Chains A and B, each alone.
Chain A
Amino acid sequence: MAKRTIVGEPLTPSLLKELGAIESLPSTPAHFHPGREWVNSYRIWTCHGYRENGNQNVGYLRIRRVRDSDKTFKLNVHEEILQTDARVGITHGTITCRNDAPASLIRWNVSSRLLGGDGEDIPEVLAINNGTPDEGMDSITGDWCLFEAVQRLSPDRQTSLRFDLLEGMSLVKLKHTLSYRGVHPINIHKKETSLHRFVQFGSGILPTDYWLDPGHRLWIVTSMNKAYILDDRAETLFERDVERARASYRNRAAQRKSKQ
């Protein structure tokens, strides 16, 4: 059996660098401002708990912030996850949020669909989810919305939000907090950089760490065995992985057919 060394410690930016999940700190454009319009694309990277194998990109998440009004903004969200036998789960939607600290929800239109191993759409499993928060749910936000909100929060020990979470715009998870946890140095290519760290706790999730670069752009999100890593190449890398998976799927199908 190939050597397998247990990682032994939770995912952090420094550990992700050690494990080869990140190579460099992406440069934040000078004009970037969390409260204006921007697009962030993240690789979705997973760790099986060993240093040598099982660690891979399995998808990507793209969030585009669009101005809506003085008091509201929209997030266009697109996430794709690659699964066994080259199936691809796609979630796509638009979320309208208040321009308040937790980016609380006003309304959303989200669809989820699935592509089969040959890239074909599987219409039987299409699900559409349009909604508004139930009455009385003033401080409810979404997991994708937190990717936006955390960039606007003050890096201050006093910063702490309390809210309920609507995960994926469909699953209610109560009593969440998001708090500032200070500055953490990281050395990449002999260049020392300080990252701001926020931590989220709440029901139905393991603690989630948000790591922001000095320009307050969200660079990495880690939670247990997964990481979202800001990377302009995220979509291109994913397309390459999907193509490989489809080729492998087609080969296996052909082998099965030849055995029959």
Chain B
Amino acid sequence: MNPNDTITQLNRRDFIKLGGSAATYFATAPLTENVFAGRQRRKPKPKNIVLIITDQQHFDTIAAGGCRHVRTPALDRLKTSGISFTQSYSANPLCSPARSAVFSGRTSSECAVQVNGRPIRSDIPNLGQWFSEQTDYETFYAGKWHLPRTYTSTIPGFKVVNTGIGGFGYLCDTVMSRACEGFLRNRSQTKPFLLVASFMQPHDICEWLRLNMNDPAKLRYPELAGALPELPDNFEFDENEPDAIRQRRRNNEPFKGKWDQEHWRYYRWSYYRNIEYVDAEIGRVFQALEDSGHLDDTLIVMTADHGEGMGHHQMVRKSSFYNEAVRVPLLFSWPGHVTQNKTDAVHLASGLDMMPTLCDYAGIQPPAHMRGMSLRNILEGNASPAREFIVSEVTNNTGRMVRTESFKYITYKDNQTEQLFDMKADPGETKNLASSSRHASTLAEHRNLLTHWEARLDVPSSVPNSDTWRKARG
């Protein structure tokens, strides 16, 4: 047995035993020798780490990544100074569940965060708790948390720099990024820190949908008619989709409001403005990093909790396994260490990778039972075998997605309609191959991958539908 496994198992037991006071335990318990034995051989360690999270950001919204409809100087700069992944997936395309995976390295069902507004279960340490215990980084958090409260001034393992205002990214992201600016400008050069800057935008598109649902035939600003972006190639949808998706579409504003194509395009135009808004706020954080002399010594990571439908398949918002909702931006930069100006279209990445990757950079072992992997070798251009697959979950533990190099498999509880897409031949996910006899073996292989994946998980029985996935389709 790996000596570190002993320690992480011990920690986990202690978390269970201590329940709600587990955070206190982590802040005060002495480190044992085994933890030090588990420290990795010396690899360069960034003095600081900044993790930037946006909320509901479609993966194709960075100008330097080829998006023609936005101006994103801050994200462009981050992209060209490091690596961006084009095949990065949310572990669950909904706010709290996605965040539970990012901050714990465990699946949302394991965290018992199957819906919004639930805390990570108390025996699983979050990033702040783990770093506070295992490293010399001081850990700070600014902005949206949502585990369980959207904003809070008390987050286990973190000192909270600032909170925010639920549902109003347009206002609170500015106050939050100004606080981050002050924090960075005033911070001593000698004290290493981990700062999470978690923005609400472009999530305000949810309010936009509610404030623009009706009267679609009348473009509110006629002068925009010539400036609206086109509809996506996969705007039409498959009438034979699983019920879960059809219901979600029917309940959304575009169908209630009977939108025409111009209104769909106006929605896309508005979403891009929200992207530009959050890019500017991220730019403020970068500027403060640069002005304070922290930039060269800081590993910067940027991702989103989940994506945004943006009219693909006539979907809006999240909670679907189509790429637009489940795929997310993922960018890393650390001058002189992370490969510069590289787009990685080969490796699959997951929100579950955040915890092991940041632990790797901090020179520590991650907690036990990580479901993702460190991306460090990939980031630094070292040989790294492609992983076989990643898995995502969906709201209330009712669905699963398996993404392999070439295919995506989707299944929902109590639904006979499965989906299988050839992601190379059909990246828009328009032709469901699940009932094609030619793909029967591929379908079986993906079901099998899911069965084996689920068998490894430690999902509390209190989580709805936990049995469903333990007995996944064979």
Contacts and interface: CB of A to CB of B under 8 A. Distances in A.
Nearest to A91: B178
A182 interface: no
Given A126-B186, A225-B170, A225-B207, A84 B163 contact: yes
Contacts of A91: 178
A19 B284 CA distance: 35
A137 interface: no
A64 B251 CA distance: 47
Contacts of B166: 84
Nearest to B186: A124
A226 B168 contact: yes
A178 to B, nearest CB: 12
B276 A204 contact: yes
B253 A6 contact: yes
A50 B210 contact: yes
Interface string A130-173: 00000000000000000000000000000000000001101111
Interface in B379-414: none
A11 B162 CA distance: 29
Given A6-B253, A44-B171, A89-B178, A124 B153 contact: no
B165 interface: yes
B220 A84 contact: no
A86 B204 CA distance: 22
Nearest to A58: B165
Interface in B122-176: 149-154, 161-168, 170-172, 174-175
Determine chain A's interface SS by DSSP, over half rule: mixed
Interface stretch (B109-117, B211-219, B438-446): B211-219
Contacts of A44: 171
B305 interface: no
Contact of B172 (A81, A113, A205): A81
Interface residues of A, number: 53
B211 A89 contact: no
Given A8-B213, A201-B221, A256-B154, A206 B164 contact: no
Contacts, number: 166
B153 A117 contact: yes
A10 B257 CA distance: 14
B71 A224 contact: no
Contacts of A205: 273, 276-277
Nearest to A116: B153
A205 B201 CA distance: 12
Interface of B: 21, 71, 149-154, 161-168, 170-172, 174-175, 178-183, 185-187, 204, 206-215, 220-221, 223-224, 253, 256-257, 270, 273-274, 276-277, 279-281, 283-284, 288
The 4 tightest CB contacts between A and B, nearest first, are A49-B210, A89-B175, A125-B182, A84-B151
16 contacts: A8-B212, A10-B211, A44-B171, A47-B207, A48-B210, A49-B211, A81-B171, A82-B165, A83-B151, A84-B166, A87-B163, A124-B182, A124-B187, A125-B182, A204-B279, A206-B270
